[in-house]
Amino acid sequence: MGIQNSEHGKNTLNFSEKILVYSFYEVHFIYLLIIWILSWNRILTDIFPNELIFALFFFICIGIFSIIITYKYIIPEMMKKDDAHSALFILLMVLVVGSDVPSLLGVIFAVFALIIFNTIYWQIGFLFIILGFSHAIYLYFFKIQPFLNNLKNK
């Protein structure tokens, strides 16, 4: 019976590993806090300058590219792993590339606009962060959690 428990425990994440995975969800709130702090004593405007359209398009392309990499390369690599501890690094990469990159692009865009135009386009930064956070939730419930449940059942 002790051997079965140790075999079963091999296919689950321990508490510290779960805390590490869940901390990647909290970073989105830190990104929102950064944009909020940067907006203190700054001009908040709804008028979007034409000079930032190329940067916005470039950041959208990078965000889409990171999501494509997540689904095309990283998630299939995660599915090849046979226990949770060997898949932990890849689980973290799924969250970083699939959700943190788009959110971080929102913060970079806000800082970029702040440097050039001395204003925060919080709508765009907020949109990137919300999309990154919602994609992280999707990845957890529909990709990571089923993968971990399949490992428990093996």
Residue 15 pLDDT grade (very low, low, confident, very high; cuts 50, 70, 90): confident
Q: What is the pLDDT of residues 57-68, one digit of tens each?
A: 999 999 999 999
Does residue 78 register a pLDDT over 70?
A: yes
Residue 133 pLDDT grade (very low, low, confident, very high; cuts 50, 70, 90): very high
CA 101/CA 77 separation, integer angstroms: 19
CA 133/CA 124 separation, integer angstroms: 14
The alpha carbon dihedral of 93, 94, 100, 102 has a sign of: positive
Contact between residue 78 and residue 6 where contact means Cβ atoms under 8 Å apart: no
Q: What is the pTM of this model?
A: 0.83
- pLDDT value of residue 146: 92
Q: How many angstroms separate the most distant Cα atoms in the chain? A: 68
Question: Where along the chain do its domains lie?
Answer: 52-154
Integer-rounded Cα Rg, in Å, for the chain is: 19
